[in-house]
Amino acid sequence: MKRLWRCHVCNDVHWGNAPPEVCPTCGATNSFVPSDLGEALEIIGRDHPALDDREGVLAAWQWFSDQSPTVRLTAKADEMELLCKGVLENLRTKGQRYCPCRLPTGDREKDEGLICPCNFLRQPTFKETGECWCGLFVRRGTQ
């Protein structure tokens, strides 16, 4: 079962069935210990950048695009703004930044896969069209 973990060397927080063997921040080996929500929130602090407005969502998408060797953000600015509105609307009405072009089922665990950016790289849609379902991310080297 997924839970929170904390690197006892650098206080990195990780959510997952098991922690990473090597801490991605400090490089320590087998350094994660079980944590909980209170401790994690204490570590993360109040100045953690929020993803509940346009700037936050666009910045997160840009970060994803910049570090990806495979995909980049669409060059269609109007569509990007529309999708951003859709994601924020889902956050407001359904509690998460769900994909604007797919319907959450109401099953929280299943719907985790719909939080944008989702895991679209492995989907047939991306392999066939070179785009995520909504066309927000496109394969590098295409228009």
Q: Is the separation of the CB atoms in 88 and 57 below 8 Å?
A: yes
57 lines the binding site for ligand SF4 (CB under 6 A): no
Task: Compute the least distance from the CB of residue 105 to Zn ion, in Å.
Answer: 35
Q: Which is nearer to Zn ion, 26 or 103 (CB)?
A: 26
* Interaction mask 27-46, Zn ion, x per CB under 5 A: -x------------------
Query: Distance from CA of residue 80 to its chain's centroid?
Result: 16
Size of interface with ligand SF4, in residues (CB under 6 A):
12
Q: Is the separation of the CB atoms in 45 and 34 below 8 Å?
A: no
Nearest to 116 by CA among 86, 79, 75, 76: 86
Q: Rule CB under 5 A: which residues touch Zn ion?
A: 7, 9-10, 12, 23, 25-26, 28
